[in-house]
Amino acid sequence: MAYDILIVDDETDIRTQISGILEDEGYQTRSASNSAEALAAVANRQPSLMILDVWLANSEYDGIQILEIVHRDHPGLPVVMISGHGTFDMAVSATKKGAYDFISKPFKTDVLLLTIERALAESRLKHENESLRKLSPYAMLDDLVGKSGAIAEVRRAVEKVAQTDSRVLISGPPGSGKGAIARMLHSRSLRKNGRFVVLTCATLSEDTLEQALFGTEATKSQPRRIGVLEEAHGGTLLLDEVADMDMATQLKMVRVLHNRRFQRIGGDTVVEVNSRVLATTTRDLQALIAEGKFREDLFYRLNVVPIHAPPLSDRREDIPLLAVHLMERSAAAKSRSPRILGADALTALQGHDWPGNVWELSNVMERLLLMAPGGSQDHIHAEAVGQAIGAAAGAASRWDHAPEVMSLPLREAREAFEREYLVFHLARFGGNISRTAEFVGMDRAALHRKLKGLGVAGANRGRLDDKE
């Protein structure tokens, strides 16, 4: 999706020249010859960038005055000033008032294009950092870490739908990577050079949610505020935890998704936008529809392509790779050497159910980095993992049947232990018989027979993955 650039200059030839240069590079352009046209164009929809001449004939305001108004009402809008009579003092004054850069006429095409490219890149990075701070640390990743079947299925879905404009509804428990999936969809899309804007619905009241979505027109006491729908023009808008959106706002979103236009609160200017909308939810939206708490028409507009983010408990074989990755990232953020996770520590991590999913694992890795005994060259062991998680016995803590087993005859107790032991390692290796057999020291066929004899579900019905 192309950037939207507003060119403000009183000379028709200059506007035409710049517009032709930019459109040849794939940019969309609009133009204005004076302050009234320029401010009206910005009011109609905030552009990605403004190219603004200092001296404007037949204009109420000159370029510097327009810059001051734009910087007040749209502080995130990058402005490149141009002038045929520019001085060093003028350039300094313009940058102090909020201009990104100052270019003298006649300008070289490559200088103009490079300046625009840098201004847009800086603006995009700033907005993306602001948006990503609203998501989990996992959302910062360019890919989902892991090689399990569950995560491979998610990757396949992302690759199939990323370069379309189809809306995607991403479901899954808290901390499972919904934000990372949304980020991947954007970064692999045709809109990747546009903004990735996040609106966290759960943190806003009904009034503030509408203001955040649609923006507000200027009043005597308040400047115009641009909403996320307008910010995301040409890019991607993520509605995080869309189930928390109130019913009145849901209705307005249905209309926006239908016709791609809206009015800012308190205004009558129709704003037209072209953004891709993604949504995440931890709740069952169809159940909420049945309860009258979520609009069915909004659900079907958002749920064009559903993607489910699996919990860590459904992809235990990914935990070692993910743990090491999160440890390294936490260490880099704190300018420290990453700690080494021993084999028993990794097994303990795989044994935990991780109700907080990747968020919880990320916190535990940071805790181990800072608090685990020993130095950077010492291995972290299961005991430290258990303490970091808050469990006394690491991986064994998930087996809570010890009192029952102690009351059984030896043969029955042994069978109970074997069943639990093998079920644990099957889950650890994603149901892979070959890898489980190798770890426990059994022949694959013998393991099949053992599982069948112990009554482990799926052992004789092909439900276990036997791929290498």
pLDDT at residue 394, rounded to an integer: 39
What is the reported pLDDT for 395?
A: 40
pLDDT of residue 129: 67
pLDDT value of residue 391: 43
If we measure between CA atoms, which residue out of 25, 39, 128 comes closest to residue 79?
Answer: 39
Instruction: Tell me how far apart the alpha carbons of residues 166 and 185 are, in angstroms, rounded to a whole number.
Output: 10
* CATH tag, 4-125: 3.40.50.2300
CA 122 to CA 413: how far, in whole Å? 64
pTM: predicted TM-score of the whole model, two decimal places: 0.70
More confident: 412 or 113: 113
pLDDT, tens digit (0-9, with 9 covering 90-100), for 389-411: 874 333 444 455 555 565 678 77
Residue 213: burial class (beta carbons within 10 Å; 0-12, 13-18, 19+): buried
Mean pLDDT of 307-321: 93
pLDDT band at 131 (very low <50, low <70, confident <90, very high): low
Selected from 3.40.50.2020, 1.20.140.10, 1.10.10.60, 1.10.540.10, the CATH number assigned to the domain covering 402-453 reads 1.10.10.60
pLDDT of 265 reads 92
The DSSP H or E segment spanning 359 is helix 357-371
Q: What residue segments make up the domains of the chain, in order of their start?
A: 4-125, 134-310, 313-398, 402-453
Report the C-alpha gap between 261 and 278 in whole angstroms. 17
CATH 2.60.40.10 fits 134-310, yes or no: no
**If you average pLDDT over residues 14-19, what whole number do you get?**
94
- The string of DSSP letters for 259-280 reads HSEEE-BT--PEEE---EEEEE
pLDDT at 140 over 70: no
Burial class (CB in 10 A: 0-12, 13-18, 19+), 248: exposed
* Nearest-5° Cα angle at 464, 459 to 468: 125
CA angle 47–34–66, rounded 5-degree value:
60
pLDDT score at 365: 93
What are the φ/ψ torsions at residue 297 (nearest 5 degrees)? -70, -35
Mean residue pLDDT across the chain? 86
The correct CATH number of 313-398 out of 1.10.510.10, 1.10.8.60, 3.40.50.1110, 1.20.1070.10 is: 1.10.8.60
Q: Summarize pLDDT for 57-111 with one digit per residue, the tens.
A: 999 999 999 999 998 888 889 999 998 876 777 878 888 888 999 998 888 999 9
Question: Rounded mean pLDDT of 17-37?
Answer: 94
Matching fold, domains 134-310 and 402-453: no
Average pLDDT over residues 301-315: 95
